[in-house]
Structure 1
Amino acid sequence: MRRIVTTAVAIALVGGALGAPAVAADTDRPGTPGSFGVLDPSDLLELTPEPAVPVLEEQIEPTATETLATARRVLAGNARPSDQSATLVLRDLWMKRSKLTGTERRQADALLARPTDGVTDEQGFGYTVAEAPPVCNTRLCVHYVPTGTDAPPSPDWVAQNLAVMDSVWTTVVDQMGYRAPVRDGSQGGSPLFDVYLKDLGGDLYGFCAGEKRAKKRTASGYCVLDNDFAAAQFPNGTPLDNLVVTAGHEFFHAVQYAYDYAEDPWMMESTATWMEERIATAVNDNRQYLPVSQIYAPNIPLDAFSRTNGFQYGNWVFWEYLTARYGNGLVLKTWKQAGTLKKDGGKNSLPALQKVLKRKGGLTKNYARFAAGNLTPAANFPEGAEYPGPKVRGAKLLSKRKRAKRFGTKVNHLASASYVYGPGKGLDGKKWKLSLQVSGPAKRTTPAAVVVVHQLDGKRKVKTVKLNRGGDGRIKVPFDNRKVGAVTVTLVNASTRYQCGRKTLLACAGKPLDDKLRFAVKGRVTK
């Protein structure tokens, strides 16, 4: 389900949470915000002591009763900032329904029911007037009511919904090769995929709900979209733009149910948000989630599912990075590896991705290069030149007199921390080098370090530091202030070791084994 990231969250993550000034770019070079290739070394300032890493809320799976309470709030339009999205809370409620009894079971059934259950829906989510004849084609039906608060603004808008959903189907299934949603038998009056228009009150753009289990962990379902995306309720974007991106996001959730409805939640939401870019690249609605991506919150694990900040939406950028290099088919291959049918891989999200990236340098290398490249979005993403420049954890301007600086921090799994060294006064000439000594955790925990030399001519030289079994390594790079604007060091905890099945919201519902690992880097000017 798509949610709006609040302005307060965006400001906190981009402007204050990391507590470090951005490394500014030369504003005379248009279209390259945040590019270190045109860095003025005088912008590098020594920082006050490093702030504490922001704490992600505990990643514990809620109970069936807690999930029911959350679902009731969300669909009633009374969602708390800490509540899950409608799509995934309904998925979880559907999966946990058997653990509920009596009144709670009846309440769950009412929430999971389609809007056409009408006034008999004790949760008040059903249509209050009789449904009009649905508008259908050979694979889709759009359901609506002709009058009342749930009514669309006109018959043309109903037809527009059908046309948009059909176009999304064509792109995702016919052109990109994903499976069609699982058929639902006669639910909704026919075997066709059902979409319902309903006034969602501005808190929700739309959602999809699982309904009937099929083979393995696949299932049929239906989707609900807002009935009009009225500007008074959805002030960001036009009604048509909001319809298009919501249709792309939510339809992809229905497609995911054809692979594994119980897949890790970070993968479900991040790939659905990535799909928005394939469906509506000109709309750019998913940029609202950039402040909660690893570009701007690199210290939050990639697989985090946050009920408060929505990091799982922001990390669509990870898939954007990978597909910019290896093609859009990489996401499809990952879902096939994560699928549960006989011809699928049957893996959780990270092992599935590891399998797909095995012949492309591996997950560790790709993740480390992604983390390091996030400091220069213009070089990392197709539309990155339009992204704001990110912050860094620490920065130091070295000179002939002040030759050394050490930075240290703790890094959680699938997260990173970046530092900047700038060549200052007296460091003109080829003889000057920057010697970097990296200290990390044991190699079995999969540490990595990537150094990027940002030249004043705009070029970047990317180097991976070779670490020994103890996690330590050294590298020496050019530091001539006539040619080098800055050198960045990105310290990466690429661990994917978990105790799985621990009822968390992380990958494989597991508990990470390698969080809060100590990293350090010491830079020293040498000849």
Structure 2
Amino acid sequence: MRRLVTLVLATAVPLTLALPGAVAADPRKPAAPAAPVIAQARAALDGTAKEADRDVTMAMRDVFLARPDLSPAGKRQADALLGRPTDSESPDNPNTTTYQANAPRAQVCGPHVCVTYVTASADVSSAAWAAQTLQVMEASWTREVDQMGYRAPAADGAAGGDGRFDVYLADVSSQGYYGFCVPEAPVAGQKYLAQAYCILDNDMLGFPMDPVSSLRVTAAHEFFHAIQFNLDAAEDKWWMEATATWIEEQVAGDVNDNRQYLPVGQLGKPGVPLDTYDGSLAMYGNWIFIQRLSQAYGVDAIRQIWSRLDAATGAPDESSIKAVSAFLKTKKTRFADFYSTFVEANLIPQKKYAEGAAYKAAPVASKVTLTGKKRKTGAKKLAAPHLSSTSLRIKPGKGINGKRKLLISVDATRGKKASPVARALVFTKKGAVSKTTIKLNKLGKGSKLVKFNRGKVKYVVLLLSNASTRYKNCVTANTNWACGGKPKDDKQKFIVNASVR
């Protein structure tokens, strides 16, 4: 979903992790009761939900997935929520975004997209803006479908007039949104594939960016959600939002609106799990992980991973982290190894990302200075939940002269089965960075000597990654973590001892 931005403003942000009765991240078995899903979507749609519960696209996605198990009355409420602005107002849901009765409507169409708007009432839009929207949406289609090779959104039959993809212009900025996308109905014969439409703001005025820039990134992001709904509408929500935010870079890379989220993703908060989906906006900031994948293996790597997530009959239907791991295996790379290099890249983004000079480096968790009098760190205890990292910066101080070295010993308390990775980066005063991996045995223990001469070494950073991809009770645990399961290795601790030699 595209929200009211920027982070310094009052933002409309996504659903929280712990919502009783909410649909799971990969809800192959919808949660019960479903009534909270309806109430949540209503509040998100009319802008009255608290900030942490305002991801309209995912809220509507949850309604779509919950609908089959609702009562007849619940189904009517769901249908009203999922209905288009041109549908009549439903007594089951007074909050549905609908056009005012008898408001004059117009439509402009291109080869793949039709844009519908009204020429009077609060949702009024000009013919020029509708034409601009059509041009931008067709450009998103060209880039994402024709050039990048993603499966197009499902045809919607006669809805909206014909099978072309439909976009509606409405005054959603008054509720705090740039736009959102709605999975309105299942694709024939498919349970988790959906046809969809999008609603975009009727003029994109009042936002920090100029209207056309706002439109370009919103169109790219929301159109990709429509593509996702025809691949797997029930996919992990963190992945859906992270890849939709990343696609902005591929369609409207000069706008750079997605950079504002980097401080809340793992570039700014490395200790928050990668698969987080909550009101912190972490999933938007974690487009940087998708960017790292695409830089390492090409832009098409993300489409290949989505092909593993495909929920069509006979397709793999994997979940996000499992699919990434499987893809990396085809490249003869372990997930843990790739993740540790991602953590490293975030510490030195200017060296590792195409636009990294504009990114602020990830912070270190703890710092210590060793001197001639204090030559040992003592046991430093650091923690990292699943798919996150922590770090220790060790600086040579007064008295650390000559050809000194630093002996670093690491004890990852949950052992090798939890996929811990330890890497030492030596930053020299001349600006160079040398890297080494500290091999950990089955018990999670290992040590390494690195250079520590104060005359040459600025500091050493020990990066400790919890790259665990182990979950239990996938789907049935009904969580917003990857696969809807519970992480097995959130209690990973690292005990570090370092001494001057």
Name the TM-score, length of structure 2 as normaliser: 0.91
Choose which of 402, 411, 415 in structure 2 pairs with 1:439: 411
The yes-or-no answer on 1:7 pairing with 2:14 is no
**Structure 1 residue corresponding to 2:353, chosen from 381, 387, 393:** 381
Equivalence for 2:455: 482
Which residue in the other structure is 2:122 paired with?
A: 149
Of residues 27, 34, 46, the one that matches 1:64 is: 34
Per-residue deviation, residues 155-178 of structure 1 (Å, max 9, x unmatched): 111100000000011111111111
Q: Say whether 1:396 aligns with 2:397.
A: no
After the TM superposition, which residues 113-128 of structure 1 pair with which residues of structure 2 at under 5 Å, given as runs?
A: 113-120=83-90, 122-128=94-100
1:131/1:521 CA distance change after superposition, 3 Å: farther
Paired residue type of 2:248: E
More RCO (CA 8 Å, sep 6+) = 1
User: Which of 330-339 and 105-114 deviates more?
Assistant: 105-114
1:471 maps onto 2:444 in alignment = yes
User: Equivalent residue of 1:420, what SS?
Assistant: strand
1:491 equivalent to 2:464? Answer: yes
CA distance in 2, matches of 1:209, 1:283: 25
Alignment of 1:402-481 (within 5 A): 402-405=374-377, 406-429=379-402, 431-440=403-412, 441-481=414-454
Report the 3-state secondary structure (helix = DSSP H, G, I; strand = E; otherwise coil) of the residue aligned with 1:116: coil
Q: Percent identity?
A: 41
Letter in 2 for 1:316: W
Residues 1:205 and 2:178 aligned together: yes
| 2:333 maps to which of 361, 378, 388 | 361
2:241 corresponding residue in structure 1: 269
Q: Please name the residue that 2:29 is paired with.
A: none
Quick one: distance in 2 between partners of 1:442 and 1:138?
Answer: 56
Deviations 1:144-163 (A, max 9, x none): 011111111x2111100000
Match of 2:296, as an amino acid? R
Amino acid at match of 1:112: L
Query: Does the aligned pair in 2 maintain the 1:400–1:425 contact within 8 Å?
Result: yes
User: C-alpha distance in 2, partners of 1:8/1:399?
Assistant: 45
Residues 143 and 197 of structure 1 are in contact (CA less than 8 Å); yes or no, is this contact kept in structure 2? yes
Q: Which residue of 2 aligns with 1:136?
A: 109
Would you say 1:345 and 2:346 are equivalent positions? no
Counterpart residue identity of residue 133, structure 2: N
Tell me the matched-pair count: 475
Indicate conservation of the 8 Å contact 1:369/1:450, yes or no. no
Q: Which residue of 1 aligns with 2:260?
A: 288
Distance 1:242 1:459 in 2: 39
Question: Is the partner of 1:164 in helix, strand or coil?
Answer: helix
Q: How far did 1:82 drift? A: 2.3
Q: CA deviation at 1:309?
A: 1.1
Task: Give, as a single letter, the amino acid of the residue that structure 2 aligns with 1:445.
Answer: A
Provide the rounded CA distance (Å) in 1 between the counterparts of 2:405 and 2:462: 15
Residues 53-202 of structure 1: pairs in structure 2 closer than 5 A: 58=18, 62=22, 63-101=33-71, 103-120=73-90, 122-128=94-100, 129-152=102-125, 154-200=126-172, 201-202=174-175
Paired residues of 1:450 and 1:463 also in contact (CA < 8 A): yes
Segment drifting more, 117-126 vs 292-301: 117-126
Please give the per-residue CA displacement for 1:352-388, whole angstroms capped at 9, x wherever unaligned: 1011111252211011111132122212322221122
Residue in 2 that maps onto 1:312: 283
Provide the C-alpha distance between the structure 2 equivalents of 1:58 and 1:397, rounded to a whole number of angstroms.
41
Alpha-carbon distance, 1:108 to partner: 2.1
User: Which ranges of structure 2 fall in alignment gaps of 5 or more residues?
Assistant: 23-32
The answer to whether the 8 Å contact 2:20/2:36 transfers is no
Q: Secondary structure at the match of 2:149?
A: coil
Pick from 502, 507, 511 the counterpart of residue 486 of structure 2: 511
Runs of 5+ consecutive residues of structure 1 not aligned to the other structure: 11-55
* Counterpart code for 1:87: T
What is aligned with 2:307?
336
Shift of 1:398: 1.2
Shift of residue 116, structure 1, vs aligned partner: 0.4
Task: Give the TM-score, by structure 1 length.
Answer: 0.86
Q: Is residue 5–residue 309 contact of structure 1 (8 Å, CA) maintained in 2? A: no
**Counterpart-to-counterpart distance in 2, 1:250 and 1:9:** 21
Q: Deviation at 1:84? A: 4.5
Q: Deviations for 1:432-468, whole angstroms, at most 9, x for unmatched residues?
A: 1111001102111111111111122222112121110
> RMSD over aligned Cα, in angstroms?
1.9
Structure 2 contact 17–480 (Cα < 8 Å) conserved? no
Partners of 2:346 and 2:67 in 1: CA distance: 41
Q: What is the Cα deviation at residue 514 of structure 1?
A: 1.1
Q: Encode CA deviations 1:274-329: one digit per residue, 9 max, x unaligned.
A: 001111111111112112101111111111111x2121111101011121222111
- Say if 1:57 and 1:400 are closer, same or farther in 2 by CA, change over 3 A: farther
Q: How big is the shift at 1:518?
A: 1.4
Between 341-350 and 397-406, the greater mean CA deviation after superposition: 341-350
Q: Which moved more, 1:374-383 or 1:286-295?
A: 374-383
Between the aligned partners of 2:332 and 2:221, the Cα distance in structure 1 is 28
Report deviation, 1:346. 2.0
How far the C-alpha of 1:9 sits from its partner, in A, is 10
Selected match of 1:521 from 486, 496, 499: 496
Q: Distance in 2 between matches of 1:131 and 1:383?
A: 46
Q: Any idea what SS the aligned residue of 1:488 has?
A: strand
Match of 1:302 in 2: 274
**2:180 counterpart SS class:** strand
